């Protein structure tokens, strides 16, 4: 029986997982990589360290596998910018991470100059430093890299395929391309208007292909055998939407990772721009058929738990957050707005900053922990409310995944806040699973999305309370806290 490998290159680490033909994980390996913060609001990675983490995890994974590998799928942190020299295979600059805010002023300039409407209509996105375009402009126009015939740009997936294929393939897929601010999601091609707006030469851009289909094969000097097809690529949130089998129009998922990302399948027709939300490519299959999605991006959820651990020392391990949060009955009116990288959907306020309100002498670390967990559900409600009001489509249920989804308290709070059942996937790593499914479908391991739907399973359903009084009161106070955080950076 063959296995499909998935490489999940996230924001704080790389996880490689082997899935069997039923979609169950057989084994996995994980490695964190360093985070760099050279200035306030700046976040960088070393692309070589990301690749090193891939090599380590694949080496460990392959040591425990005796089945043949049918295909490899890749999912990644999307908007992060990597630039490298094709002749040497070396990065030209530290990778600029999606959380990085260094181009906030430039995005404000472009918005004030009247470019937002064109950006929205062309890319489905907004002018925000979250996306790749202004980061790449900063590197090029700011003279931080020199562009020549060997210069290559890509999101993290492009970098990994380049390395896995021994420099044979400079490619990306439609989902990652749709997060760059440089891609026309209607025409499904790089946009000359957007490339001109950000001063990016077309020569540095990767070829764009469907999310499911062969991108290349592995080189011979790797931890995996040579010649294995690399046949699935999707940005992490689109991969999770696929892995959650959200194939029906109106179906939705939320991934609680470093940030939280709520995506709703809106079908095969590109919708008009929606205020406060993003329109993005959900996936493109090998036959060229594209599914679109509405997305609400919450920049910081799980990263706030990491901050409690590494920044404040309130917890020693991330797993402590759930028991600590439930050790108190309430936050005693303490709210944490984790706007460490500004606020995403539906506010899109790059000037917002992290805020804690309601502190008293009686506040303990348990209250702050509970406020952190509640903020995940409250931010997600803001997005789902915006989706319902903008599209007129009510989410009937929400499928959830990601590391924090193991917390029953979080998911019950989420159900109470949005007023619909929350279904936890039996496989929490649905991001990697989605990448594996995209690769496996391309190589015939699975026949179709119908087979993926039949394999989906839940290990918990959280029903909302019939009485919404407490949930609505909590949300109203939350919105007051959000207003305190906004515009702090000017």
Chain segment 350-362, per-residue pLDDT in tens: 889 999 999 999 9
Nearest to 180 by CA among 212, 219, 138, 135: 135
Place of tokens 């709210």: 335
Q: Does pLDDT of 391 surpass 80?
A: no
The model's pLDDT over 52-76, given as tens digits with 9 standing for 90+, comes to: 999 999 999 999 888 899 999 999 9
pLDDT of residue 88: 94
The rounded mean pLDDT for the chain is 93
Range of the domain at 239: 3-244
Nearest to 206 by CA among 231, 241, 173: 173
Q: Does pLDDT of 393 surpass 80?
A: no
Cα dist from 308 to 210, 313, 324, 331, 414, whole Å? 39, 6, 12, 16, 21
Partners of 264 in the beta sheet? 252, 294
Residue 378 lies in a domain: no
Question: What angle in degrees, to the nearest 10, is found between the helix axes of 469-485 and 365-391?
Answer: 100
Q: Name the domain count of the chain.
A: 1
pLDDT of residue 335: 98
Q: Does pLDDT of 258 surpass 90?
A: no
* Percentage of the chain exceeding pLDDT 70: 99
Residue 44 lies in a domain: yes
**How far apart (Å, rounded) are the C-alpha atoms in residues 121 and 257?**
29
Q: Does pLDDT of 489 surpass 80?
A: no
Residue 231 lies in a domain: yes
Which stretch of DSSP H or E encloses residue 39?
none
Band (490; pLDDT cuts 50, 70, 90): low
Residue 179 lies in a domain: yes
The stretch 421-449 carries a mean pLDDT of: 93
Q: Does pLDDT of 122 surpass 90?
A: yes
**How far apart (Å, rounded) are the C-alpha atoms in residues 45 and 464?**
40
Residue 70 lies in a domain: yes
Q: Does pLDDT of 429 surpass 90?
A: no
pLDDT of residue 299: 87
User: 263: alpha, beta or left, given left = phi > 0 and alpha = psi -120 to 50?
Assistant: beta
The stretch 466-483 carries a mean pLDDT of: 96
The stretch 262-289 carries a mean pLDDT of: 90
**How far apart (Å, rounded) are the C-alpha atoms in residues 154 and 444?**
28
Q: How many Cα neighbours within 13 Å face the side chain of 362?
A: 7
The stretch 241-258 carries a mean pLDDT of: 90
Residue 266 lies in a domain: no
> Domain with 130 in it: what CATH number?
3.30.420.40
Calculate the CA 94 to chain-centre distance. Answer: 20
The stretch 365-378 carries a mean pLDDT of: 97
The model's pLDDT over 164-205, given as tens digits with 9 standing for 90+, comes to: 999 999 999 999 999 999 999 999 999 999 999 999 999 999
* Percentage of the chain exceeding pLDDT 90: 81
Residue 161 lies in a domain: yes
| CB contact set of 312 (below 8 Å; sequence gap of 6+) | none
Band (114; pLDDT cuts 50, 70, 90): very high
Residue 50 lies in a domain: yes
Q: Where are the beta strands (DSSP E) in 64-206?
A: 69-76, 82-85, 90-91, 95-96, 151-154, 171-173, 183-184, 189-190
Q: Does pLDDT of 319 surpass 70?
A: yes
**How far apart (Å, rounded) are the C-alpha atoms in residues 273 and 288?**
23
Contact between 140 and 152 (Cβ < 8 Å): no
Q: How many Cα neighbours within 13 Å face the side chain of 316?
A: 0
Place of tokens 């609400």: 296
A 10 A CB-CB count for 22 gives 8
Contact between 175 and 282 (Cβ < 8 Å): yes
pLDDT of residue 401: 86
């Amino acid at each position: 029986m063959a296995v499909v490998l998935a490489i999940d290159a996230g924001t704080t680490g790389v996880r490689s997982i082997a899935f069997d033909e039923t979609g169950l994980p057989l084994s996995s390996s994980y490695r964190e990589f360093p985070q760099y913060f050279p200035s306030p609001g700046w976040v960088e990675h070393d692309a070589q360290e990301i690749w090193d983490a891939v090599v380590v995890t694949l080496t460990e994974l392959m040591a425990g596998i005796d089945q043949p590998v049918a295909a490899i799928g890749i999912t990644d942190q999307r908007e992060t910018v990597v630039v490298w020299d094709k002749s040497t295979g070396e990065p030209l600059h530290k990778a600029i991470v999606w959380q990085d805010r260094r181009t906030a002023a430039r995005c404000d300039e472009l918005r004030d100059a009247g470019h937002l409407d064109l950006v929205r209509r062309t890319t489905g996105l907004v002018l925000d430093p979250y996306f790749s375009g202004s980061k790449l402009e900063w590197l090029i126009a700011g003279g931080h890299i020199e562009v020549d015939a060997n210069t290559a740009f890509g999101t993290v997936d492009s970098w990994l395929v380049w390395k896995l294929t021994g420099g044979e393939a400079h490619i990306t897929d439609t989902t990652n391309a749709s997060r760059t601010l440089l891609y026309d999601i209607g025409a499904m091609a790089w946009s000359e208007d957007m490339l001109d707006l950000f001063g990016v030469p077309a020569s540095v851009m990767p070829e764009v292909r469907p999310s499911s289909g062969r991108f290349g094969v592995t080189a011979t000097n790797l931890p995996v055998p040579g010649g294995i097809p690399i046949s699935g690529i999707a940005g992490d949130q689109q991969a999770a939407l696929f892995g959650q089998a959200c194939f029906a129009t109106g179906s939705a998922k939320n991934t609680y990772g470093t940030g939280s990302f709520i995506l709703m399948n809106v079908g095969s027709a590109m919708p008009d721009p929606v205020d406060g939300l993003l329109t993005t490519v959900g996936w493109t299959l090998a036959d060229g058929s594209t599914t679109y999605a509405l997305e609400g991006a919450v920049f910081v959820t799980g990263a706030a738990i990491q901050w409690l651990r590494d920044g404040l020392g309130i917890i020693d391990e991330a797993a402590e957050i759930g028991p600590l949060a439930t050790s108190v009955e309430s936050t005693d009116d303490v709210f944490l707005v984790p706007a460490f990288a500004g606020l995403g959907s539906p506010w899109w306020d790059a000037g917002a900053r992290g805020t804690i309100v309601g502190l008293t002498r009686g506040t303990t670390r348990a209250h702050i922990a509970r406020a952190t967990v509640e903020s995940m559900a409250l931010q997600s409600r803001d997005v789902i409310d915006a989706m319902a009001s903008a599209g007129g489509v009510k989410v009937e249920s929400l499928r959830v995944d990601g590391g924090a989804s193991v917390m029953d308290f979080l998911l019950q709070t989420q159900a109470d806040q949005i007023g619909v059942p929350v279904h936890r996937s039996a496989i929490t790593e649905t991001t990697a699973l989605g990448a594996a499914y995209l690769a496996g479908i391309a190589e015939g391991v699975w026949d179709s999305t119908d087979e993926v739907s039949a394999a989906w399973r839940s290990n918990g359903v959280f029903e909302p309370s019939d009485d919404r009084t407490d949930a609505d009161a909590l949300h109203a106070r939350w919105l007051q806290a959000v207003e305190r955080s906004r515009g702090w950076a000017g």
